[in-house]
Structure 1
Amino acid sequence: MNSQPAPSSLSIALHLLGVGVVLWSLTGEDRPLWVDILAYLAVGAWLVSSVGVRVVERLVPARQTNVGAEIGCALVATSAGGLASAGTSGLALVPAVIAVGAVIGTAEYPLLWGVFVGALGIVTVGVGAVVADISAISLLAMMGGIVIAALLGLSRRQTRISDDALKLLREREFAARDEARRVALARDLHDLLAHSLGGLVIQLDAVEALLESGKSDAAAERVGAARTLAAQGLGEARRAVAALRDPGIVGPDVDSAAVLADIEDLLAAHRSVGGIANLGSDGHTDRVPANHADIIRRTIQESLSNARKHASGSPVSIEVHWHDGLVSFTVTNPLSVGTALAASGGGHGLLGMRERFIALDNGSSLVAEEDSRIGKFRVTALLRMPGTAE
């Protein structure tokens, strides 16, 4: 059971004031002894539950013990106050009304408990009215006080439930945003490391082979290419860190020619580590949002990394088709030839590519699949621009 919000000092002070007013009003009247005993017992229960238990909660937050004390005090205040209400001109009804409203209004308690306490209050008020022989109008007025207290408690209960639900929703939204940021970070780190480190592994393997064969000049060229690849990876890492520090910064829109130039840079890096690739493109568009251009570049970058990893040295074919409001592209390479580097894959790259397209939530799609009939692995993507209907 969840704990209630901690009572404020003002709330405790108001309850103390109410207890004092009722006690002062009860003095000086000539009543049967049993009526006074029940009335003071009800006020005492009110004082214990509204002040004593609350103070103890602050000092010793033993929730289960407090629940028992609160419900016990509510039952005493309701039954004693209800029986004595007619004999005290309604004064003893005040603790009963407060007890009914408090139990029903506490969302942590089952509603059935509050219904029982409210019913107990009505029954005891009726019994007390019979003994004191008061008018029907007075009886109905006191029972109405119990009903009003129950309705106010129910309203308070619903408000608290709504507030708790809103708080839970906000916590879940925060958790979802945090999860999305974590996934995006993992995706970007994977792309950077797979592209840069994967290429460096290939280059260093080539350098080792060239040095063993005595081709130092060729090895030096490979070292230079590896240095260039490392510098590119460092630049990508800096851009990723900048985006994480200030995700609100969005680059300007570009055209299809600028996107193709970025793809050519990726192909140049791919060829520098011994890869073979060709690019075909048709169509043109003047507006490609920065995030869409980044998705295209990241997808092709990851596809090239996968090709180097699983089919090193095999030709890669890229076809890009620009349409009105969307772009489709396909990256094709031979199936895996079982290289040592391929064993390092965990499938995170393909998952990251799909997540980028799913996150757009505009009908964009990506399919990565093997076509054993022609011995090819193919990545096929359809990317819709903002405002384009499916």
Structure 2
Amino acid sequence: MNFPYSSKKWMSISLAAVLTTTLGAGALTASANTATEAATQAPVAAQASTEKVAAETGTTTAPATAEEELTLEKAVQQALQTNVTLNNARLDAKNADINESLSYKTSADMPAEMIESLELAKAKHVGNAQGEMNKKLNALAVTATESKIKLGAQQAYYNMIFAQDDYDLKKQSLSRAETQLKVAKAAFDVGTKAKTDVLQAEMGLSGAQAALTSAANSVEVARMDLNDFLGVDLQKKWKIVAANKQTAPITLTMEEAQKQALSKRIEMTRVQEELKLAELNVKLIEEYSALSTLPGRQARNNVEKAKLAIEEQKRTISKEVAQAYLNLNAAKQAIEFQKKAKDSAAESYRLTNLRFENGLATTLEVIQAEEELSDRENQYQKAILNYNLAVVNFETALGN
């Protein structure tokens, strides 16, 4: 974007620049405007490596090595293989299965003709059903943990992308601050701006440098958080292959989404299995004893409790799906709003620069406009992050 001078002011600045400095203010301004135009284009997904971060912030790093690419899918697969919490859950399930098999195997093999009492019937049928149910629930517990690990891996992946995007935005902000300082110095040298403009530009540059250093640190923290969740070396370097979820409208209605979740969520399987077990207990009491007895009444009450648990679980799942559905729609709209705000801030920054070039704005006003643009760029990137996480949460709520 160009910030044209009036013809009279251009002649004045150019002539003064030739007489007072070997580097003309006009050349500085043209260079500054070119840099500013490139700087106002915010990337949606950054590809900067952590070595690049370290080099530009003055930190020392180990010799560069070839970085392994990490896509969203690969991050999920890596977590499913090496996440410590998930592997512990798998081992716990195996141990639980072993304990169950030891506890009910003898009773389950009991011949039917030997069953003459309710206690023996329960030992064979209920114990057997309980053992099978527990094995199924153990497997479901592992599946539930896998779902949580998938969710966590995707969140860590997107947090890493956001940290890199934020770092790139801070670089753009630093570039704009450097440009403003050059222009302020050039204008001061030819006598069209006061020393205070240079001092304000220097303060703006210092703030941008500090923000860049903070963003670089955030990249390193996000990388270690990602590696920790994946269960790999904390210092492992990745070449992040950025990927964003599609921002197409949801094809399902809320009711369809809730119905799908009720058919797929493992929580429903658990409460349904518990109902089956409670009903089996009632059946055995009816066959070998009487439902009018104390155990019989308690068994029937347990059936009612199991049915209530199913209804409660349905409400819980339906509510979670509805919330995820609404959050996803809101996140999609937020992207559109934040993009408009970012574009407006970019135009405001351009116009403020134009006013500064023509002596109608101060350096402080330019700095404030740049800070607003930087903030809006950051909010736009955060909106993209929130949308991606909303998609992940919605898919998880569906039981995918």
Structure possessing the higher relative contact order (Cα contacts under 8 Å, 6 or more residues apart): 2
TM-score, normalising length: structure 1: 0.29
Query: Which one has the largest radius of gyration?
Result: 1
TM-score, structure 2 as length reference: 0.28
**Greater percentage in strand:** 1
